[in-house]
Every structure is written in structure tokens, then in C-alpha cells.
């Protein structure tokens, strides 16, 4: 399941944190283990995806840095906060449901950039998404990408390249904020990292050269809804 999540998510420019959280929710993983595990898997897959999309020529520094400038310190702050188990499950469940909505909204998003992003707005969006990323263990890219597409600030592949680099930066900040949490990671995590890396290599290679299909996003939305409802209920 970790391999499949990494494969599917990396193909659309994400690292798969919400998918990994979904898998761990279905396996009844303890909340204290979920966030650091998701961040570690995220860093591995996002690093691969960033390299792939940069090599393919779709990364734009001018689009990335305003969002990252606001998000990195906010992700560090969010990562330093430990929520009670019940609250964490509810918040992560809501994140998964919103992630599913993200895929539904962008099924037919136009593949073109129409305007430049205003700097103050990019900074504000980065702060909000970065804090949420650090707090829950997701990279924030799953929310950044629909914003970029719907606002017309980037096309699909540039959105994917920006999102995966955004995820990498936030995931590192979230993990560094509370390094002691790494000790809570499950013993099986190294095998999960191997599965995620293999899936990330394959998915990001395909995604950096082919547009993701609406059917792929729809499947991911169904999985996220199931896992989100399981956490909340």
C-alpha cells in the first residue's frame, strides 16, 4: 500500500503523505507514530520528485520561493506542537477529506498559466499551508497545487514541480522541529521507505513526462475519503 501510494501521488507531483496517513489509519497506527513516519516517507519521495521535475525543466524558482518563504518557519512551528491523540485523528481526518476534495476540484483544471501570483498573497498562503503541514505531517503541496491551478498561476507540470519542492521543504522543517519524535517511528518504517522510494522513482518519472489522468485523481479521492471518515468516526 505504501508503494502504491508513493507511485500514484508522485505521478501528480506530490510525495504521498496523506496517502501514507491513510494507510496508517487503516492499520490503526498510533497517532504518535503517524506524523514522524509520514514526514520521513515524504522527504524520501519528495526529494526524488524534485530532482525529476527539475531535470525535466518544469521547476520555476520565481513561483516557488514566495510560498516557501512563508511556509518553512510555519512548518517548523507546527511541527513543534503535539496534539492530543483524539484531536490529531480528527484534524488529520479532515485533512484527508479536504485532500479528496482537492482531487475532485482539479479533475478538469485548465492546463495553462494565466497570471502572476501576488507576493503578499503567496507569503500568506505559504504560512497557512506550512503550519498545517508541520502540525499534521503532510507536506502542504496537496493543498498548494489546487490553489495554483484554480488561480491560473501555473500549468499542471509546473504546479507539480512547485508542489513537490514545497513538500520537501516543509517536511524537513516539520521533522527538524521535533527530532525526538523519530524514536516513535515503527520498526517496519525502513521497509516502508524502500517501498516509497521505488514507487516515487517510478511515479515521478512518469509524472514529469505525462499529464496525470482524471481517473487517477478520482481513485485517490475515494481512498482518501474512506481513510478520512475512518479517522473521524
The pLDDT value given to residue 229? 81
pLDDT tens digit string along 8-36?
A: 888 878 888 888 988 888 888 888 888 88
Whole-number Å distance between alpha carbons of 173 and 166? 11
Give the predicted TM-score (pTM) of the model. 0.83
Distances (CA, A) of 5 to 25, 88, 110, 160: 13, 21, 25, 16
Instruction: Please compute, for residue 57, the number of CA atoms within 13 A of its CA located in the half-sphere on the CB side.
Output: 1
Q: What is the mean pLDDT of the chain?
A: 84
- 47: cell is 526529494
Q: Which residues contact 225 (CB under 8 A, 6 or more apart)?
A: 96, 97, 100
Residue 214 has pLDDT above 70, yes or no: no
pLDDT tens digit string along 48-80?
A: 999 988 998 989 999 999 999 999 999 999 888
pLDDT tens digit string along 77-134?
A: 988 887 777 787 788 788 878 877 876 776 666 666 778 889 999 999 999 989 988 8
| Residue 191 CB neighbours (<10 A) | 11
Q: Are 185 and 35 in contact (CB under 8 A)?
A: no
Length of the chain: 233
Amino acid at each position: 500500500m505504501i508503494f502504491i501510494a508513493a507511485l500514484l501521488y508522485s505521478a501528480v507531483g506530490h510525495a504521498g503523505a496523506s496517502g501514507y496517513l491513510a494507510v496508517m489509519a487503516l492499520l490503526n497506527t498510533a497517532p504518535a507514530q503517524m506524523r514522524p513516519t509520514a514526514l520521513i516517507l515524504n522527504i524520501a519521495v519528495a526529494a526524488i520528485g524534485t530532482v525529476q521535475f527539475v531535470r525535466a525543466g518544469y521547476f520555476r524558482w520565481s513561483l516557488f520561493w514566495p510560498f516557501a518563504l512563508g511556509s518553512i518557519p510555519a512548518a517548523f512551528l507546527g511541527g513543534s506542537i503535539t496534539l492530543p491523540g483524539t484531536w490529531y485523528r480528527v484534524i488529520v481526518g479532515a485533512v484527508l477529506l479536504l485532500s479528496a476534495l482537492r482531487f475532485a476540484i482539479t479533475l478538469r483544471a485548465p492546463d495553462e498559466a494565466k497570471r502572476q501570483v501576488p507576493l503578499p498573497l503567496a507569503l500568506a498562503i505559504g504560512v497557512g499551508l506550512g503550519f498545517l503541514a508541520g502540525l499534521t505531517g503532510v507536506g502542504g503541496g496537496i493543498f498548494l497545487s489546487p490553489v495554483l491551478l484554480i488561480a491560473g498561476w501555473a500549468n499542471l507540470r509546473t504546479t507539480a514541480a512547485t508542489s513537490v519542492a514545497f513538500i520537501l521543504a516543509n517536511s524537513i522543517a516539520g521533522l527538524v522541529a521535533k527530532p525526538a519524535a523519530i524514536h516513535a517511528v515503527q520498526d517496519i518504517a525502513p521497509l516502508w521507505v524502500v517501498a516509497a522510494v521505488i514507487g516515487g522513482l517510478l511515479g515521478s518519472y512518469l509524472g514529469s513526462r505525462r499529464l496525470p489522468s482524471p481517473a487517477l485523481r478520482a481513485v485517490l479521492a475515494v481512498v482518501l475519503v474512506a481513510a478520512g471518515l475512518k479517522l473521524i468516526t
